[in-house]
Amino acid sequence: MSPDSLKVLPQYLLPQRLLAGLAYRITRCRNPLLKNMLIRAFIRHYRVDMAEAVHERPADYRDFNAFFTRALKPGARTLPADETAFASPVDGRVSQIGTIEADTLIQAKGRRYSLGDLLGGDRSMAESFRDGAYATLYLSPRDYHRIHMPIDGELRAMTYLPGKLFAVNPATVNAVARLFARNERVVCLFETGSGPLAVIFVGAIFVGSMETVWAGQVTPARPRAVRRESYPPGRHRYRRADEIGRFNMGSTVIVLMARDRLSWLPEWRAGSLVHQGSVLGTVR
């Protein structure tokens, strides 16, 4: 058994939902002493750069979750001028980036998973991204946790897929087979001038909630069953860099584009640090 597998073994035994629910309650506690203590400890431990935040003092946040999903000051992230640029939707680190091999994506060295599984068995959606481009972006606890549009697009569908809540840190990604196709996730499908775009929010062990700007809080969901929503043309249009959602605690975002529609820039590879707005590639 590999070292990463040993580290991850306890996660199979932990009450994942109970822990997520506990995190949800603690991070929304408005007791000033508790929430300020948590925020200060978090800033120190993860070396969070509060100079970027609109509100720099712990006392300015009503609860820990408001701090965790904090807004940044205008100009803290730059938007590329080139209209063909595909911008990173988040701050984080590239976990994987490349081309989908037929319907197979790389999770980590020696680990692969299928596009169909990731998309909850939606064959039509999976076919639209077959042989396309994908990037998996990991958000660490210290990162900015709002999610933005990488290019202009119009929301056409959203699918909630219930699942496990394994951690999504590098050790777990290396050790747990089909991790991103097993964890709870929200699949957001957009139509763009360059074809379909999917932005997928992947839940994790302490992610008590995921939300979008159009639906509000999507998780925790009651009941925990597959839910598909369709949206008519013209209702939800977003420009590149518009906020579309956020993680209430950290996780991973996966983006998908159709075949021959997106070329990644060669400097991006597994392990690269990115900021929201960084140019990841160019679209056709």
Cα(162)–Cα(185) distance, integer angstroms: 7
**Lowest mean pLDDT across 17-31, 49-63, 155-169:** 17-31
Q: Is 91 a catalytic residue?
A: yes
Q: What is the pTM of this model?
A: 0.93
Cα(199)–Cα(211) distance, integer angstroms: 13
- Return the pLDDT at 26: 86
Could you tell me the pLDDT band of residue 35, with boundaries at 50, 70 and 90? Answer: very high
Could you tell me the pLDDT band of residue 166, with boundaries at 50, 70 and 90? Answer: confident
Q: Is 251 a catalytic residue?
A: yes
The answer to whether residue 244 scores a pLDDT higher than 90 is yes
* Listed ranges 2-6, 23-27, 41-45; the one with the highest mean pLDDT: 41-45
Q: What is the pLDDT of residues 170-212, one digit of tens each?
A: 888 988 999 999 999 999 999 999 999 999 999 888 766 899 9
- Return the pLDDT at 59: 95
Could you tell me the pLDDT band of residue 215, with boundaries at 50, 70 and 90? Answer: very high
- Return the pLDDT at 224: 85
For residue 38 the two structure tokens come to: 């948590």
Longest dimension (CA), the chain: 54
Catalytic residue selected from 148, 152, 236, 278: 148
- Return the pLDDT at 195: 97
Mean pLDDT of 58-81: 94
φ, ψ at 69 (rounded to 5°): -100, 30
Mean pLDDT of 132-136: 98
Cα(84)–Cα(265) distance, integer angstroms: 12
- Return the pLDDT at 7: 65
- Return the pLDDT at 14: 65
The answer to whether residue 17 scores a pLDDT higher than 80 is no
Mean pLDDT of 24-35: 91
Whether the CB-CB separation of 108 and 152 falls below 8 Å is answered with no
- Mean pLDDT over each residue of the chain, to the nearest integer: 92
Catalytic residue selected from 63, 91, 122, 143: 91
Catalytic residue selected from 95, 194, 251, 278: 251
φ, ψ at 91 (rounded to 5°): -80, 145
Characterise 136 by phi-psi region: left (phi > 0), alpha (psi -120 to 50), beta (else).
beta
Cα(250)–Cα(7) distance, integer angstroms: 19
